[in-house]
Structure formats: structure tokens, C-alpha cells
Amino acid sequence: MSGWQFDNRFVNELPADPQSGTQRRQVHNACYSFVEPAAVTAPALVAYAAEVAELLDLTAEDCQSDWFLQVMAGNRLLDGMQPHAMCYGGHQFGMWAGQLGDGRAINLGEVRNQAGQHWSLQLKGAGETPYSRSADGLAVLRSSIREFVCSEAMHHLGVPTTRALSLVTTGEEVMRDIMYDGHPAAEPGAVVCRVAPSFIRFGNFQIFAARDQHEELRTLADFTIRHYFPDILGVHEAGSAQSYLAWFERVCDLTVEMVVHWMRVGFVHGVMNTDNMSIHGLTIDYGPYGWLDNFDPDWTPNTTDAQGKRYRYSQQPNIALWNCYQLANSLHPLIEDSSGLEAALQQFQLSYVERWRAMMASKLGLADFQPSDEKLFAELEKVLAQLDMDMTNFYRYLSTEDRLLSSELIEFSYRKEELNDEDKNRLRDWLQQYAERLKSDGRDQRQRHQAMQQVNPVYLFRNYLAQQAIENSEQGDHQMLHELLNVLRRPYEEQSGMEAYAAMRPDWARNKVGCSMLSCSS
Ligand code: AMP
Ligand code: MG
């Protein structure tokens, strides 16, 4: 048995819904509702993340035990667990959607590990809750693989994210209409155990503000600051307007940091609704996300968003800002000083620009950003887009090759056969400008390459690789899934024998469902 110590601060210190059970309802003046995971018939462990197990003081033996499987499938509760679903609201695609809440996520409690850290455990896909609305509270293997592998891959890429401990299949079938086109089919059910300092979202505050429940709003803000941003209380008095403003500034800052990382690795979240924004600045809720193959700033994998492309790659910083704006509105009753909130939002924009520039400089191996680099970056993005370049392989080539040859770089174009002279000249011109710029940069080539290889990955959980791993796993063959998990532990290192996982998107995947087109159905 685990020997886990639970210290469920969220449950112990915050108001609960007096009603328990799964009956759908509007939950007022409460942060959560008690609800138990649904039991499943034939759970099987597909994978676990050894690094996350270690954070939780679990051994490999623990993770392969029957108690672990039963707990991670929702069949069994350990002493000290207090399963509950959180109440939150949110803006979906720009519109206030009212109460949402954990519709298919059940928090088990907070483990206090031997190092004294608290980690919240959450089962995603463990059955109905009061917040499930008209849905079933379940998750399928397809979307669970996408969440499990990607959140771990993001962590190893250095992108702030929630983590994943385990992936189990339930032995039950779940009906899903993937493209919402009237063709539902049975898929294998699965549960992922997610792990994070907390799963508190912008939407947890929004729901209280929208309902004018200011006392609960204050209680939740105080809780959040006390446990997750305690240093603020060394400067500002607990409960003071300044403490809330200082905290809001921190959330903005963490959010900027997260989005800059997304832009660095070509990650498109796909559903940046305010209920999918963590107050820790962690990437959360892996749904119809995707990775840029060809560099197309207007790309979004989410077919539900195909019309307005609200959540396309290039729009992510603006949306993150818009989301922080919504959080600011919700916190206004506690702070009342609009100018302080506005200043924080202004600062968001300034920090974003500054950090984006520093990030781009690091991708290109420049020791620092010079004002004239603005043009170099802008032209590079145009070249990458115009030539349909594979973003990841392009930057990696710059990070490894001593002599930069446009003839070799052209291999990373998704339409290399069609490139005309103008295209090729544009690339050559840019390489020339870049080479000039490097001359004015202090470091030698070897140092530069070493630094570049820390920020320009070789391996990503590319959309087509995800789809292949899913198709294999659905047939009961998890070998590719395990191999990918392993490769993605060291995304910045070339790994011999694993070259195939760094390959550009093959032709068959260009317009395939699951590869370039994803819906919210999960
Ligand atoms: P998402 O867009 O995945 O963040 O989900 C938005 C809302 O829908 C959240 O409140 C989810 O908990 C809920 N939801 C999504 N899928 C399901 C499902 N299968 N069953 C119940 N609730 C769901
Ligand atoms: Mg969500």
C-alpha cells in the first residue's frame, strides 16, 4: 500500500456543496461537491510516468500493483481521500457560459510527499458529477493517450504543465461521435490520473464573481495566495487589496511565461477557454491541441474553431491576455482599483513582447536581442510560412549544422517540389542576413549550438505520431506508445534508432482526422 499522507486543504478550508451525488445542479456558494468515482469492470494499466510516481514517493513496484490499478481506475479509495468535483465557470469561445465545473474529473485529494510538497491527484474520465451536464463523465483511450503523453512530453520540453501519473483502460466501451456528424462509434474507455499543485482555474473565481458571491470569491483568493503564493504575504497584509493585485500580477506573469513556451515549441492549445486556464500558469486540459508541422501562424487543429480560428497559433498571446482581462474583471470586487489591474494587463503585453524576443533570440542562438533583430525574426516567420517549412526540423538544423545550406533546408519544405526561384532566393537572403548577424554575436559556434540545442527540440508528440500510437493502442498494441514516452523524455537529444520519430509529417496525415483535424469530442 502507498503509505500516502493526505492533507486535503482545498476540501478542508473551502466551502462544500451540502448535497453530494451526481444529480446535475447549479451549485451556489461552494467551491466543490463531494462525488465518488464510478467503478469499472476490467481495468488494465497501459502506462505510468516514473518521474511523476517519484514525486509521489511511489516505487515501480507500487505502480505495478493491484491497489494502484484499482485506485487509478476509480474502483477503490485510499484512506484520507475525499473525492470531489470542483465548481467553476468560464468563457467558451469568447462567450460567458455560466457554470461548467469538473464534468468528468474527480479530485481524490492532496498527497503530501516526503519532501513536504502537496500534489493534487485527479482522475479524468471517472464518471458523472453534478457538473457533467448532458454528458457521461467518461473519457476514451484516444483522448486519454493524447493527454497522458503530451502533458509528460511538455514537461520534458520545459513547458509548464499539469502532469500525468497513470493511464488505464476501463474495459468498458464509450460512445463518441468524433466529428459530430451523426456517426457515433464505440471506443475503449480510459482514465488518466492527472497531478498538479492544484487544478484551480480562472473559472473558479469567475463563477463567484458572476454570481456576486464576493465572500466566497475572497475566501478562494485568500486560500490560493496562502498556499501557492505565500511570499506575497511577506510584503502585503493577508486580505488586503494589494495582496490580491500582487497575486493577479503573478498570474499574468506565469501566463506570459507559459505562452512564450508554447510559441517556442509550436504548440497550439486549441481551446483556450477561461475554464482551461490554470492560475499556476500550467498548460491544462489537453483536448484538440496540436503542433505546427509546417509553420502556419493561422493554424488551429480544432475543427470546432475552424470558422473564426479564435485559438490559432499566432492568436494565443492575445487570447491569454483576453483571459487575464476576464480574471481581472472577476477580481475587481476584491481590489476595486481598476488602474492597478489595467497596469498589470499593460505589463502583460510588455513582458510578452520582451520575452518573446528573448525566446526568438535563443532559438537563433543569439546571446541577446538587438533592436535590429525584429526585422530578422519577422522575415524568418514569413520565409517559414511562405515555404511551408517544418518548424521543428528547420530550427534544429540551424542548431546543429556548421554550414547552413539553403539546398539542405529546402528538404524541410512541405512543398519542396513546387518552390520557385523567388521562394528559394528569399530563403537564401534570410540565411545571409542571419550569417551576418551571427558575426556580431560574441559566442563561438560550438557554444552557440549547445545553447540552441537546449531550446530547439528534435522530438515532439507530433499529431501524426499521436494518431499512429492511438491506432496501435486501440488494437491492444502499446509498444509505440511506450517507445514514444521514452523518446519524449529527452526531446532535445538525438537518440540513435529513433530518427523516425523526428520525421516530418507524411503525406497521408496532411488532412486526416486525428492528425490535422481534431474535434472537442473526447
Ligand atoms: P473542455 O472543453 O474539455 O475543457 O470541457 C468543457 C466542459 O465540459 C468542462 O466542464 C468539462 O468537465 C465538460 N465535459 C467535457 N467532456 C465531458 C464528458 N464526457 N462528460 C462530462 N462533462 C464533460
Ligand atoms: Mg476543460
> Tell me: the pLDDT tens digits for 107-150?
999 999 999 999 999 999 999 999 999 999 999 999 999 999 99
253 in any annotated domain: yes
d(CA 189, CA 335): 45
Contact indicator for 76, 5 with CB cutoff of 8 Å: no
Cell (9 digits) for 125:
474520465
374 plus 343 within the same structural domain: no
486 in any annotated domain: no
335 plus 249 within the same structural domain: yes
Angle among Cα 376, 356, 405 to the nearest 5 degrees reads: 35
357 plus 223 within the same structural domain: yes
Say yes or no to pLDDT of 153 above 90: yes
pLDDT of 512: 86
- For 351, the domain range is 203-362
H or E, element range at 397: helix 391-400
Atom 13 of ligand 1, residue of closest alpha carbon: 103
376 plus 437 within the same structural domain: yes
Please list the residues that pair with 176 across neighbouring strands. 185
Say yes or no to pLDDT of 442 above 90: no
Please list the residues that pair with 192 across neighbouring strands. 124, 167
Across the chain, mean pLDDT equals: 97
230 plus 295 within the same structural domain: yes
pLDDT of 1: 65
State whether the beta carbon of 137 lies less than 6 angstroms from ligand 1.
yes
Residue 520: CB atoms within 10 A of its CB come to 15
At residue 519 the predicted structure's pLDDT band, cuts being 50, 70 and 90, is: confident
Give the tens place of pLDDT for each residue, 139-148: 999 999 999 9
pLDDT of 267: 98
Last residue of a domain, one of 306, 329, 362: 362
Give the tens place of pLDDT for each residue, 362-418: 999 999 999 999 999 999 999 999 999 999 999 999 999 999 999 999 999 999 999
Say yes or no to pLDDT of 456 above 80: yes
290 plus 337 within the same structural domain: yes
219 plus 259 within the same structural domain: yes
| Sequence-ordered strand ranges (E) for 11-73 | 32-34, 44-48
Residue in 23, 33, 92, 133 to alter for ligand 1 test, most ligand atoms within 8 A of Cβ: 133
Last residue of a domain, one of 397, 424, 442: 442
Say yes or no to pLDDT of 446 above 80: yes
Ligand 2 centroid – CA 285 distance (Å): 5
In 3-state terms, what secondary structure has residue 84?
A: strand
The position carrying cell 538525438 is 494
Say yes or no to pLDDT of 517 above 90: no
The position carrying cell 537564401 is 428
Q: Give the atom of ligand 1 at the shortest distance from the alpha carbon of 129.
A: 21
Ligand 1 centroid – CA 128 distance (Å): 11
494 in any annotated domain: no
Residue 115: Cβ-neighbour burial (10 angstroms; 0-12, 13-18, 19+): exposed
121 in any annotated domain: yes
Q: What is the 3-state secondary structure (H, E, C) of 319-360?
A: HHHHHHHHHHHHHHHHHCCHHHHHHHHHHHHHHHHHHHHHHH
pTM (2 d.p.): 0.98
114 plus 178 within the same structural domain: yes
Q: Give the atom of ligand 1 at the shortest distance from the alpha carbon of 137.
A: 20
182 in any annotated domain: yes
370 in any annotated domain: yes
Helices (H), 401-460: 406-409, 421-439, 445-452
338 in any annotated domain: yes
d(CA 362, CA 421): 30
Last residue of a domain, one of 312, 334, 362: 362
What's the chain's Rg over C-alpha atoms?
Answer: 23
- For the chain, the domain total comes to 3
Ligand 2 centroid – CA 101 distance (Å): 8
State whether the beta carbon of 104 lies less than 6 angstroms from ligand 1.
yes
240 plus 320 within the same structural domain: yes
115 plus 80 within the same structural domain: yes
Ligand 2 centroid – CA 147 distance (Å): 12
Q: Which of 92, 89, 158, 78 is nearest to 121 (CA)?
A: 78
192 plus 208 within the same structural domain: no
138 plus 35 within the same structural domain: yes
Q: Which of 17, 222, 275, 305 is catalytic?
A: 275
For residue 271, the number of C-alpha atoms closer than 13 Å in the C-beta half-sphere is 19
65 in any annotated domain: yes
